[in-house]
Amino acid sequence: MADELKENKQPLVLIVDDTIKNLQLLGNLLKESSYKISAATNGRQAIEVAKQIQPDLILLDVMMPELDGFETCKILKSMPETKNIPVIFLTAKVEAEDIINGFKEGAVDYITKPFNSYELKARVQTHLELKMSKDLLNERLLQLKKEKNKLNTVLTGISDGVIVINNDLDIILFNPMASLLSGYLGEEAMDKKYTEILQFIPEQGSKDNNGDFIENAIISQKTQDLNIAQLLITKNNGKIPVKGSASPLNNEEGNVTGCVVVLRDISKEREIDKMKCEFVSIASHQLKTPLTGIKWMTELLMKQSLNSDQMEFAKGAHQSADRMVKLINELLDVSHIETGRKFDLKKEKVDIIKLLESILQDLSDNAQRKNVELLLDKEIPAEMIVDVDKSKTRQVFTNFIDNAIKYSKGKGKVTVGCRRENNEAIVFIKDNGIGIPQKQQERLFEKFFRADNAVLSETDGTGLGLYIAKAIVEAHNGSVWFESAENKGTTFYIKLLLK
């Protein structure tokens, strides 16, 4: 993607610093990478220049007179013409509070002074490439939105399939869209039992066959929805994915006289969603290429004779690239979930006790750095064989155990165990960490959600890990739940079927 940046346009970087020597040094370094450079010596000048030239990235000094970097960034992010320009802070302030404050004001990154030229170039290039990908993604999504709006206009004009059924389960109304969906003309369907015309088969393991939801609406006197998509069998034995509902029809006395069925063809919606997810997948794969290059270069750097500061900078850049690769992989997993493909599981017989022991060994260094004790439950069995995708299951367990370590307090303890209940294995991960606030517990498995105390405790996180882990477990026909109390700890449970 670095080549694409050069081919498509010469990126423009605005450097803001009240020290002329810093402007000259930064400008000369970035010119080596063929970037166009503009400069400003104070916050107010930077705001005016940014509005006029619309740079691709802003390097913003924090410590400036009158209007400091934080306030300048806040103003830039409040203006529509500059709010989407990525800002990297240049700062000698490395306190966690200052860094958090910078990110709250809208910065995408920060570089500490004195800076390392390799780290500076790598971070600038990374964020320029991310901006290019984001702009491309927004453009494509806008195109998709326009196409979807056109499609919605057509669908609104045609309307949904509407069928009215009486208490004897006979069809008494069959609109043109219902005819189009089913292939039956109105006169063919009228006065026929609905089961002769509306034949459904489930897509995913449901027993809701032959339109049971319709009869249930009459019996229960409550609206019944097709919670999962059904395939409508057409007159010519075709199969159309539909969603819909059946609502009871009441007379003036309040008695149920039948029901109204509304069916909607979701084929086009699925096609659009697939296009969106495929684009996310393509964009994510493209992002991996420059990130791999950054990792390779930083690995080479770390093998050179660097002083301690230089080595720390190289390690930081390498770790940032690792985090980006992890985020990209999570986005790919999310796109798989949302297209209904879930995951391509390659099941095999796996001893999850050995798997847990291996993961604990892998995470032992992380635990030591956090001063957290990792323990296997004393009553854990010697062996527990399950039929699972080993790689995906490792991903699930690693996520829960790594989170337990991250959100543990100093001298914390994380206990991992497993027990058998009938024909199921239940793995648990227990910590005595910060816990989950009661009011936020129901949202824990939502995409991009992170509890307030988790964000304060560990700023690095995407909010995708638990969402993906739950989807993987459910793809194995398992389940996930937890028990938690704020400031007391959390226990996660993962239930899997035994072999």
Residue 397's pLDDT band (cuts 50, 70, 90): very high
The pTM for the full model equals 0.42
> Domain residues of the chain, as ranges?
12-114, 116-158+269-341, 159-265, 347-497
Task: Give me the count of residues in the chain.
Answer: 499
Average pLDDT over residues 238-254: 86
Query: Which CATH superfamily does the domain covering 347-497 fall into?
Result: Histidine kinase-like ATPase, C-terminal domain (3.30.565.10)
CATH (residue range 159-265): 3.30.450.20
Does the domain at 12-114 match CATH 1.10.730.10? Answer given as: no
Distances (CA, A) of 298 to 30, 306, 325, 401, 455: 18, 12, 15, 28, 28
Q: Would you say 190 and 197 are in contact if contact means Cβ atoms under 8 Å apart?
A: no
Residue 157's pLDDT band (cuts 50, 70, 90): low
What residues contact 316, with CB distance under 8 A and at least 6 apart? 119
Average pLDDT over residues 90-116: 81
384: how many CB neighbours lie within 10 A of its CB? 22
The per-residue pLDDT for 332 is: 63
Does the domain at 116-158+269-341 match CATH 1.25.40? Answer given as: no
> How far is residue 401's CA from residue 414's CA, in Å, rounded to a whole number?
8
* Paired sense of beta strands 347-351 and 372-376, if any: unpaired
Residue 155's pLDDT band (cuts 50, 70, 90): very low
Residue 205's pLDDT band (cuts 50, 70, 90): very low
The per-residue pLDDT for 273 is: 64
Digit-coded pLDDT (tens) for 475-499 = 888 999 999 988 888 999 999 988 6
Query: What does pLDDT average to over the chain?
Result: 82
Q: Would you say 440 and 401 are in contact if contact means Cβ atoms under 8 Å apart?
A: no
- Confidence check: pLDDT of 200 > 50: yes
173-177, 210-214, 279-283, 317-321: which has the minimum mean pLDDT? 279-283
Q: Where are the beta strands (DSSP E) in 109-153?
A: 109-112
Digit-coded pLDDT (tens) for 77-89 = 999 999 989 999 8
The per-residue pLDDT for 450 is: 75
> How far is residue 16's CA from residue 44's CA, in Å, rounded to a whole number?
10
Average pLDDT over residues 306-324: 79
> How far is residue 479's CA from residue 481's CA, in Å, rounded to a whole number?
7
What residues contact 21, with CB distance under 8 A and at least 6 apart? none
Average pLDDT over residues 361-387: 90
263: how many CB neighbours lie within 10 A of its CB? 25
Tell me what percent of the chain is helix, strand and coil, each rounded to the nearest 5: 50, 25, 30
